[in-house]
Homo-oligomer: A and B are copies of this chain.
């Protein structure tokens, strides 16, 4: 039912308008239950028109991306949303529905989200529900969106402060990952991307883990070949997992490595997603060592990599508040909490951890 196909050049049957072959671009095809998606790593925003079907297109973007890149946008109608997690609401979705109606967008209209994860999540949700669904694609402009939000077909909005309470699973037709656009990204946003790439390496790609250790300088200067490998290896890994488990029934849970406690830290302390996930990964690795699954030396290697990429290995937070946040986590089932642990660098395992064991580990957290 699901498969991942890798290919190096553009397939004219799939995108009839894309006539050129791009030497340095990597393409990845993801076939999921909700459709077919092509991730284009190293493609440029300027080439977006080549991927658009004939007919009407509407762009959805945010105020910052618009300010920085509007001159490179194709000349089509545009809807702009606010910036940040607070913009990821049904109110923003309704603003976009309203704008689409004003623009008389119909079932044949193609929608392109240009922005980070928030723009992609809202755009994917609106496109999946406007007139019961129209076609859509993304230009992912942040490292986090390129390695994470671009793949997997998850979209949606927050509701009453709860993350992603309302949404659907639906794949974009294409995702352009323009690596040059990362140069305008604030350093903190870049680090959030690094956190997810470290996560991908830790759960399933020890070669990427080694590569990250060796290429700290290239990463820091956004060296094209280094970042291309970070993004394409991340996309490959995530796409492989998602293709096997689109609806998060099993294996996809591995992608929550560092996120179960990470989300609780994020909600409790207000630190950034990347920082919270980094600390969450260190906690999960320590728990893996306590359980005898992982060598201490490997856990230390993970902590060292996280620190080297400018991310925190621990974030102080009240244990009681963390447990309360964990209990509200929507992924809970029964008495235990599904938790992703490591059996080695590049090898994750999902276990149901008793709440009492988690409570103890959290209370002993440094």
Contact of A330 among B131, B154, B162, B168 (CB under 8 A): B131
Q: Which of chain B's residues have a CB closer than 8 A to the CB of A128?
A: 168
Say yes or no for A250: interface residue by CB 8 A criterion: no
Say yes or no for A72: interface residue by CB 8 A criterion: no
Contact of A132 among B106, B169, B331, B333 (CB under 8 A): B169
Q: Which of chain B's residues have a CB closer than 8 A to the CB of A108?
A: 333
In the complex the two chains form, is B332's CB within 8 Å of A129's CB? no
Counted per complex, copies of this chain come to: 2
Within 8 A of B (CB), among A129-147: 129-133
Kindly provide the distance from the CB of A180 to the nearest chain B CB, expressed in whole angstroms.
32
In the complex the two chains form, is B168's CB within 8 Å of A101's CB? no
Kindly provide the distance from the CB of A140 to the nearest chain B CB, expressed in whole angstroms.
20
In the complex the two chains form, is A132's CB within 8 Å of B156's CB? yes
Say yes or no for A211: interface residue by CB 8 A criterion: no
Say yes or no for A269: interface residue by CB 8 A criterion: no
In the complex the two chains form, is A166's CB within 8 Å of B129's CB? yes
With A90-B90, A107-B330, A330-B107 as known contacts, state yes or no: A101 contacts B160, CB within 8 Å: yes
How far does the alpha carbon of A167 sit from the alpha carbon of B132 in the complex, in Å? 4
Q: Size band of the A side of the interface? A: 20 to 34
Say yes or no for A97: interface residue by CB 8 A criterion: yes
Chain A interface main SS type: mixed
Kindly provide the distance from the CB of A156 to the nearest chain B CB, expressed in whole angstroms.
6
Q: Which of chain B's residues have a CB closer than 8 A to the CB of A159?
A: 94, 97-98, 101
Whose C-beta in chain B lies nearest to the C-beta of A169?
Answer: B132
How far does the alpha carbon of A132 sit from the alpha carbon of B166 in the complex, in Å? 6
Say yes or no for A165: interface residue by CB 8 A criterion: yes
How far does the alpha carbon of A166 sit from the alpha carbon of B101 in the complex, in Å? 11
Say yes or no for A164: interface residue by CB 8 A criterion: yes
In the complex the two chains form, is A106's CB within 8 Å of B168's CB? no
Residue among A132, A159, A168, A332 having the largest count of chain B Cβ atoms under 10 Å:
A132
With A101-B160, A162-B101 as known contacts, state yes or no: A129 contacts B167, CB within 8 Å: yes
Within 8 A of B (CB), among A13-27: none
Within 8 A of B (CB), among A150-192: 154, 156, 159-160, 162, 164-169
Interface residues of A (CB under 8 A from B): 90, 94, 97-98, 101, 106-108, 128-133, 154, 156, 159-160, 162, 164-169, 247, 330-333
Name 26 interchain pairs, CB-CB below 8 A, sorted by A: A90-B94, A94-B159, A97-B159, A97-B160, A98-B159, A98-B160, A101-B162, A101-B165, A106-B330, A106-B332, A106-B333, A108-B333, A128-B168, A129-B156, A129-B166, A130-B166, A131-B164, A131-B167, A132-B154, A132-B156, A132-B167, A132-B168, A133-B168, A133-B169, A133-B247, A168-B168
**Extra 16 A-B pairs, beta carbons < 8 Å, given A131-B330, A133-B169:** A90-B94, A94-B159, A97-B165, A97-B166, A101-B160, A106-B330, A108-B333, A129-B166, A131-B164, A131-B165, A131-B167, A132-B154, A132-B164, A132-B167, A133-B168, A168-B168
